């Protein structure tokens, strides 16, 4: 029986199995990944990351959803991987790091670090790149008449068998569908287990989509629940928090360049100066446990 060493980390309750695929070559099948992420018969996680070397000064995040499908990008996952690399001495401690992803190269910063401890128990900040609003790049099958000054936000009424939703679509390297709840609506009471898969698999999303329901708390704060593509409801989602904050700023519901996103598993801070600027994601990470899994 083959054994594989792993670590389990989380960002605001969004949890990941991380495996060192640098010291030795490792590949896993879709079925093996799904079993490992199963919360009853496996380790249990929202996703699995094979930490790989990309080139001398850069790493690669080989990321998979809990159902074993490939994903382009994961904001909380990349922050957890950065901490894993330093704590396992696979990367040198310092103020920054580069990790490549299927959504492009990401720069990681350690705002609270000193030269020795880097990521341990401190904040980790990621330059997530620019938000993408063009429908064909998200991708979402709508016409460009729904754009406002180049933004796709707040103008598309999606009719489904379970009701109508005003959706805001954006890509953070992966597709997101953000829905702003009306004043007086209770975020905790929405049937996310029904609406999440309904929207995730809607025909206008050729690559499926992540789904976020948000409620504005103040000029700089919003509440969010998320249904992740290929996973289900999770305690947090880094790219989803970015997408939600960006849409809320575009809709002028958030009035500051920093938005604090309040999630079931904790808070994330999003920084965005506008359409021509990158989006930054910042938050803490935590270790859960380590061990060996029998393949």
Q: Which residues are catalytic?
A: 74, 237
Look at the block and give the residue holding tokens 């040198």. 92
Please give the Cα distance from 140 to 121 (Å, whole number): 38
Please give the Cα distance from 215 to 261 (Å, whole number): 10
What is the pairing mode between strands 210-218 and 175-180? parallel
The first and second tokens of residue 275, run together, are: 């359409």
Please give the Cα distance from 169 to 243 (Å, whole number): 8
Helices (H) and strands (E) in the chain, counts: 4, 19
- C-alpha dihedral over 239, 137, 169, 252, to 10 degrees? 80
Pick from 262, 283, 257, 282: which is nearest to 272 by CA?
A: 257
Cis, bond preceding 139 (omega within 30 deg of 0): yes
Please give the Cα distance from 172 to 76 (Å, whole number): 13
Q: Which residues pair with 32 in a beta bridge?
A: none
Q: What are the two backbone dihedrals, phi and then psi, of residue 133, each rounded to the nearest 5 degrees?
A: -115, -10
The vertex-85 CA angle with 233 and 1, nearest 5°, equals 75
Note whether 172 and 131 are within 8 A (CB).
Answer: yes
């Amino acid at each position: 029986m083959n054994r594989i060493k792993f670590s389990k980390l989380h960002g605001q309750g969004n949890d990941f199995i991380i495996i060192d695929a640098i010291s030795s070559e490792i590949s896993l099948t879709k079925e093996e990944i799904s079993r490992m992420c199963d919360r009853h018969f496996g380790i249990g996680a929202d996703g699995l990351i094979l930490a790989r070397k990309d080139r001398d000064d850069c790493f690669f995040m080989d990321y998979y959803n809990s159902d074993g499908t490939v994903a382009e990008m994961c904001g909380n996952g990349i922050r957890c991987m950065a901490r894993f690399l330093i704590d396992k001495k696979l990367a040198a401690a310092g103020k920054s790091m580069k990790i490549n992803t299927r959504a492009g190269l990401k720069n990681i910063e350690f705002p609270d670090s000193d030269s020795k401890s880097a990521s341990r128990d401190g904040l980790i900040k990621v330059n997530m790149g620019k938000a993408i609003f063009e429908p064909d790049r998200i991708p979402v099958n709508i016409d460009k008449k729904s754009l406002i000054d180049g933004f796709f936000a707040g103008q598309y009424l999606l009719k489904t068998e379970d009701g109508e939703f005003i959706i805001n679509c954006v890509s953070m390297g992966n597709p997101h569908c953000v829905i702003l709840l009306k004043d007086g609506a209770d975020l905790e009471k929405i049937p996310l287990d029904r609406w999440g898969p309904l929207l995730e698999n809607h025909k206008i999303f050729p690559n499926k989509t992540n789904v976020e329901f948000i409620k504005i708390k103040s000029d700089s704060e919003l509440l969010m629940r998320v249904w992740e593509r290929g996973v289900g409801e999770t305690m947090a989602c880094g790219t989803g928090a970015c997408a939600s904050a960006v849409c809320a700023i575009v809709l002028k519901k958030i009035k500051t360049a920093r938005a604090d996103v309040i999630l079931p598993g904790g808070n994330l801070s999003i920084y965005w100066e506008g359409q021509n600027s990158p989006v930054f994601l910042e938050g803490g990470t935590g270790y859960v446990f380590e061990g060996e899994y029998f393949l």
